[in-house]
Structure 1
Amino acid sequence: MLESLAHIATILGAVGLLLALLTWQGSRNSFHHAVITSCTTRFQKLSPKLGQLPLKTKTVQQYLELCNEELFYFESDFLPQPIIDEWLDGMLSFISLRRVSDESLFELPQAPPQLAPDLSPPLPAEQYLLLNNFPRLYYAFRLSPQAEKTILSVQRQHGPDAARAQMVLTVIDNLHYYKGQPFLKHLHRTRAEAW
């Protein structure tokens, strides 16, 4: 009898753990969906303002805040990779990569002239100063000489779409580098010690 009760208790414990895991996964998926929906809704509200030239500083500030938050979600593994790839590609339409050496803006060389000009140019140079308020964005959109050579090589070999994808990968690499910065590690360690 005791042996049967032990088996029943083991089975009930396993079922309880399975239910807890399923509930946790459901909550996690709901949270991820809420994050994606919130960010998408906020971008849709900002989108018409981002198309009005000249861009207002308040609009740029709101857009950078949204981008910074989205990058935080990516760093924290709240977003699936295809979503962040798409969002980073969109960000590159407004926030150009800046060379580490002289802070000049990088643009892909255009082989044939574009038929229709892009009416949503990158942020004006004076508004790039706002990036100083967002260290994560500042690091993410910097371009080392080696990364620039890689992007240009990819463009020569595979075309502008592949080069654009390489630019997204550059931003992702920069984010990983930023996440591993010593001051952030120290901050996390200090917090852990405080607990």
Structure 2
Amino acid sequence: MLESLAHIATILGAVGLLFALLTWQGSRKSFHHAVITNCTTRFQKLSSKLGQLPLTTETVQQYLELCNEELFYFESDFLPQPIIDEWLDGMLSFISLRREDDESLFQLPQVSAQPDTDLSPPFSAEQYLLLKNFPRLYYAFRLTLQAEKVIIGVQRKYGPDAARAQMVLTVIDNLHSYKEQPFLKHLHRTRAEAW
């Protein structure tokens, strides 16, 4: 009799764990969907302002806040990879990669550029300084000399679309290494010691 009760308890425990896991997965998917919907809605509200040049500092500030939040969600695995790839590609239309050595902005060399074509992001120099208020964004959109060589090599070999994809990969690589920055490691270590 006790053996039968033990088997029943084991089965009920397994069913309970399975139910909890399925509930947790459903909640996680629902949360991820809410994050994506929230960010998309906020971008749609900003998009009409982003299309009006020159941009106001308030619009740039709101856009950078949204981008910084989206990068946080990516770092925290709240976004699927295809979503963040698309969002980063869109961000590159407004935020240029910044060379690490001299802080100059990087633009893909144009194979057949029109002399009157301005491909620079719409931020003014003063507005670009706002990036420093967002360490994650500032770090993510930096460009090392090695990464620049890779991007230009990809453009020569495969064209500008592939180079743009390589720029997205550069930002993703920077985000992954951002987590390993000494000040963040110190925060994690200090919090772990406090617990």
The reply to whether residue 92 of structure 1 matches residue 92 of structure 2 is: yes
Q: Distance in 2 between matches of 1:77 and 1:187?
A: 20
Q: Distance in 2 between matches of 1:178 and 1:92?
A: 18
Matched-pair identity in %: 87
Q: Distance in 1 between matches of 2:82 and 2:118?
A: 25
Q: Distance in 1 between matches of 2:157 and 2:175?
A: 26
Match of 1:13 in 2: 13
For residues 132-143 of structure 1, what are the structure 2 equivalents within 5 Å? Answer: 132-143=132-143
Q: Decide whether aligned partners of structure 1 residues 37 and 117 sit closer, same or farther in structure 2, where only a CA change above 3 A counts.
A: farther
The reply to whether residue 52 of structure 1 matches residue 52 of structure 2 is: yes
CA deviations over 1:79-135 (Å, ceiling 9, x no partner): 111110000000000000010111111001111236x96798332222110011000
Q: Decide whether aligned partners of structure 1 residues 118 and 86 sit closer, same or farther in structure 2, where only a CA change above 3 A counts.
A: farther
Q: Distance in 1 between matches of 2:122 and 2:163?
A: 17
CA deviations over 1:48-84 (Å, ceiling 9, x no partner): 0001011000000000000000000011111111110
Q: Distance in 2 between matches of 1:105 and 1:119?
A: 11
Q: Distance in 2 between matches of 1:77 and 1:190?
A: 23
Give the TM-score, by structure 1 length. 0.95
Give the TM-score, by structure 2 length. 0.95
What is the DSSP-based 3-state SS (H/G/I as helix, E as strand, rest coil) of the residue aligned with 2:127? helix
Q: Distance in 2 between matches of 1:159 and 1:143?
A: 19
Aligned residues: 194
Aligned-partner residue type, residue 192 of structure 1: A
Q: Distance in 1 between matches of 2:36 and 2:113?
A: 36
Match of 1:175 in 2: 175
Match of 1:187 in 2: 187
Task: Judge conservation of contact 1:136–1:178 (CA < 8 Å) in 2.
Answer: yes
Q: Distance in 2 between matches of 1:84 and 1:175?
A: 12
Q: CA RMSD in A?
A: 1.6
Task: Judge conservation of contact 2:99–2:106 (CA < 8 Å) in 1.
Answer: yes
The reply to whether residue 122 of structure 1 matches residue 125 of structure 2 is: no
Aligned-partner residue type, residue 53 of structure 2: L
Q: Distance in 2 between matches of 1:107 and 1:141?
A: 12
Displacement after TM superposition at 1:5 (Å)? 0.9
Displacement after TM superposition at 1:183 (Å)? 1.0
Aligned-partner residue type, residue 153 of structure 1: G
Task: Judge conservation of contact 1:96–1:122 (CA < 8 Å) in 2.
Answer: no
The reply to whether residue 113 of structure 1 matches residue 142 of structure 2 is: no
